């Protein structure tokens, strides 16, 4: 019986051994399969890493090229801005000349219009004068005809005088012939004597009348010549006075037009100067006053200068952030699980604004980097706990996470936590600090959660100090005496942690895990990197906004140019106004000094005729 039992035992033992062997072989097979699978996945990941590195190298090269191109474009922009400044300065120098030329052109145009009007008046006077000349030509023809008739009559009278002389000679010859004939044929009788007497009396009367006619004709000719000379002199004086009258009237009209134009110009200049100084935004919103231009110039100058200073500050801070990011060199790859948890946290923050503060690790930071491992050890799982204001908010958040099928989260409701007060006497220990004292936190409301997570834990420089304070040595006696005052009947032991992460619990348990703690402590650096990245993004966005403000330099130059142009226009307008007023007064005086044309006799009302008088025969 015992042999059977021994055989059965041996058989079962062999079966157990074979089963263990099969189990180990099964595990080994699956482990090898898993190893092969992981190796393949590792090779695939390595290939992806190589691709990513190549892509990163390519992107870095492109980034370098873009930086070079950006530098070149910035230099080109500076060159263009310099050219713009030079052009603006040249424009500001030439604008007064342009304004002066414009004013001169307007003045020349007005003078041209006045000259055109004068030309039209002169053409009218020319036509009128030409009609007068034609009339004078006709009158001259009539005078010439009268003169010819007079000369013909004079010639006829001269011829008739010649015939009388011939008649006298003939009479003498006839009388001699008659005497000879009478002497030869007939003697004198009474009848012949009577005839001779009558004929002699007629000849004497003829000669007397002829002599009187010659004297009267000479006298009348002299009077006619004198009268014609007087009439011509009077006519010349009349024409001269009429020309003076026309010229004076034209001058008066021109001066009056100039006075009216000057008056309108004075009103326009005064209106322009007043509106340019004070502005007329009601009637003309696009027209800004000089004061408004100066105010805009001051505001833009202040804004641009502030933007420049802020850009310099941002660039300096951005360089520091980039250096810190470059020094950190922390390769952090968030997996989908962490991203999912972060998305859910952001969602509940939006759902309960002001009630959900965030994760504890995101709300606090060790004061020095050397405390990171120790703080990580003390906080433990509470590092990822979410701090809320009340238990109700925590339950609502848990329900929301369940609905979203998220992973479990730990919540620390501030109104639900029971926290023992901090033992102030522990701060008197040498070589140790309260963990809560080496942590910065914000906002202040989360202090209760931090006290809950840290308690009265102490952090020491090394393991020996932490052990002595926790379990023995003079430190423990001091702690015992301190603790007996604050918490009678409680254990004298306190939770201590060394900088390397070695934790001495109240129960006497000692825990380490430096490698795992270092990995967890890196999250503080990752958080700092996240903050640096956030700061970098904020600085970059602010830099873009400040660059937009800096680009208002062109608008500032335009406003400065407009203000300078407006000031120059005001200056020239003021000068033009003074000159126009002076010219206006001068024109008024000239109009008053000009003689009146009313006393000049008109052509139709004169008593002197243009036709010369002729003597009636």
The per-residue pLDDT for range 528-547, each reduced to its tens digit, is 667 777 777 888 888 888 88
Q: Does the structure show a pLDDT above 80 at 55? A: yes
Q: Does the structure show a pLDDT above 90 at 387? A: yes
What is the predicted pLDDT for the residue at 313?
87
Separation CA 407–CA 90 (nearest Å)? 70
What is the predicted pLDDT for the residue at 198?
58
Task: Report residue 46's pLDDT band, with 50, 70 and 90 as the boundaries.
Answer: confident
What is the predicted pLDDT for the residue at 358?
92
Separation CA 66–CA 74 (nearest Å)? 12
Q: How many other β-carbons are positioned within 10 Å of the β-carbon of residue 64?
A: 10
Q: What is the mean pLDDT of residues 199-207?
A: 72
Task: Report residue 410's pLDDT band, with 50, 70 and 90 as the boundaries.
Answer: very high
Q: Does the structure show a pLDDT above 90 at 562? A: no
The first and second tokens of residue 296, run together, are 């805009």
Q: Does the structure show a pLDDT above 70 at 20? A: yes
Q: What is the mean pLDDT of residues 423-428?
A: 85
Model confidence pLDDT, tens digit, residues 118-128: 778 877 877 88
Q: What is the mean pLDDT of residues 475-490?
A: 40
What is the predicted pLDDT for the residue at 392?
92
What is the predicted pLDDT for the residue at 492?
53
Q: Does the structure show a pLDDT above 80 at 378? A: yes
Q: How many CA atoms lie within 13 A of 580 on its CB side?
A: 21
Candidate ranges 161-175, 265-279, 399-413, 485-499; pick with highest mean pLDDT: 399-413
The first and second tokens of residue 250, run together, are 């034209």
Separation CA 503–CA 492 (nearest Å)? 16
Domain boundaries, the chain: 331-473+493-523
Task: Report residue 218's pLDDT band, with 50, 70 and 90 as the boundaries.
Answer: confident
What is the predicted pLDDT for the residue at 617?
33
Q: Does the structure show a pLDDT above 80 at 76? A: yes
DSSP string, 154-187: HHHHHHHHHHHHHHHHHHHHHHHHHHHHHHHT--
Task: Report residue 236's pLDDT band, with 50, 70 and 90 as the boundaries.
Answer: confident
What is the predicted pLDDT for the residue at 460?
92
What is the predicted pLDDT for the residue at 126?
76
User: What's the mean per-residue pLDDT of the chain?
Assistant: 76
**From the DSSP assignment, how many helices (H) and strands (E) are in the chain?**
12, 10
What is the predicted pLDDT for the residue at 195?
56
Separation CA 27–CA 35 (nearest Å)? 12
Q: What is the mean pLDDT of residues 307-334?
A: 69
Q: The domain 331-473+493-523: what is its CATH number?
A: 3.30.70.1620
């Amino acid at each position: 019986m015992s042999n059977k039992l021994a055989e059965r035992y041996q058989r079962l033992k062999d079966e157990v051994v074979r089963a263990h062997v099969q189990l180990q072989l099964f595990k080994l097979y699956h482990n090898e399969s898993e190893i092969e699978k992981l190796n393949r996945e590792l090779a695939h990941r390595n290939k992806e890493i190589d691709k990513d590195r190549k892509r990163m190298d390519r992107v870095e090269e492109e980034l370098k090229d873009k930086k070079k191109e950006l530098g070149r474009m910035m230099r080109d922009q500076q060159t263009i801005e310099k050219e713009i400044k030079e052009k603006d300065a040249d424009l500001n120098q030439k604008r007064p000349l342009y304004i002066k030329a414009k004013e001169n052109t307007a003045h020349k145009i007005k003078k041209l219009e006045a000259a055109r009007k004068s030309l039209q008046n002169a053409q009218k006077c020319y036509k009128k004068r030409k009609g007068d000349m034609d009339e004078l030509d006709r009158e001259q023809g009539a005078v010439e005809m009268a003169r010819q008739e007079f000369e013909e009559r004079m010639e006829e009278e001269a011829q008739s005088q010649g015939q009388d002389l011939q008649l006298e000679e003939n009479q003498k010859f006839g009388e001699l012939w008659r005497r000879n004939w009478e002497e030869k044929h007939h003697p004198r009788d009474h009848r012949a004597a009577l005839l001779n007497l009558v004929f002699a009396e007629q000849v004497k009367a003829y000669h007397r009348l002829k002599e009187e006619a010659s004297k009267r004709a000479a006298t009348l000719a002299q009077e006619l010549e004198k009268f014609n000379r007087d009439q011509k002199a009077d006519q010349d004086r009349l024409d001269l006075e009429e020309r003076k009258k026309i010229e004076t009237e034209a001058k008066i009209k021109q001066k009056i037009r100039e006075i009216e134009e000057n008056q309108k110009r004075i009103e326009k200049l005064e209106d322009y100067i007043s509106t340019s100084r004070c502005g007329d935004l009601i009637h003309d919103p696009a027209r800004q006053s000089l004061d408004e231009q100066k105010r805009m110039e001051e505001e833009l100058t202040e804004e641009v200068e502030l933007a420049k200073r802020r850009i310099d500050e941002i660039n300096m801070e951005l360089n520091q952030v980039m250096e810190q990011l470059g020094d950190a060199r922390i390769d952090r790859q968030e997996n989908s699980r962490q991203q999912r948890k972060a998305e859910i946290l952001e969602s509940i923050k939006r759902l309960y604004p002001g009630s959900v503060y965030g994760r504890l690790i995101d709300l606090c930071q060790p004061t020095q980097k050397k405390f990171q491992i120790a703080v990580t050890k003390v906080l433990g799982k509470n590092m990822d706990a979410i701090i809320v204001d009340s238990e109700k908010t925590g339950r609502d958040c848990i329900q929301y996470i369940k609905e979203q099928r998220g992973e479990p989260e730990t919540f620390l409701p501030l109104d639900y936590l029971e926290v023992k007060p901090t033992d102030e006497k522990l701060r008197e220990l040498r070589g140790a600090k309260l963990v809560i004292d080496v942590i910065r936190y914000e906002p202040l409301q989360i202090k209760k959660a931090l006290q809950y997570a840290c308690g009265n834990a102490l952090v020491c420089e090394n393991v020996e100090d932490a052990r002595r304070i926790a379990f023995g040595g003079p430190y423990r006696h001091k702690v015992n005496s301190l603790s007996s005052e604050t918490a009678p009947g409680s254990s004298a032991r306190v939770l201590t942690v060394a900088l390397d992460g070695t934790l001495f619990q109240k129960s006497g348990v000692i825990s380490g895990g430096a490698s795992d703690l270092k990995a967890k402590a890196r999250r503080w650096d990752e958080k700092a990197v996240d903050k640096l990245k956030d700061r970098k993004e904020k600085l970059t966005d602010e830099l873009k906004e400040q660059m937009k403000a800096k680009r208002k330099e062109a608008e500032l130059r335009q406003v400065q140019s407009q203000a300078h142009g407006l000031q120059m226009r005001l200056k020239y307008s003021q000068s033009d106004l003074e000159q126009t007023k002076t010219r206006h007064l001068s024109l008024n005086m000239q109009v008053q000094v000009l003689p009146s044309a009313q006393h000049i006799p008109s052509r139709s009302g004169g008593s002197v005729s243009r036709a010369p008088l002729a003597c009636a025969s």
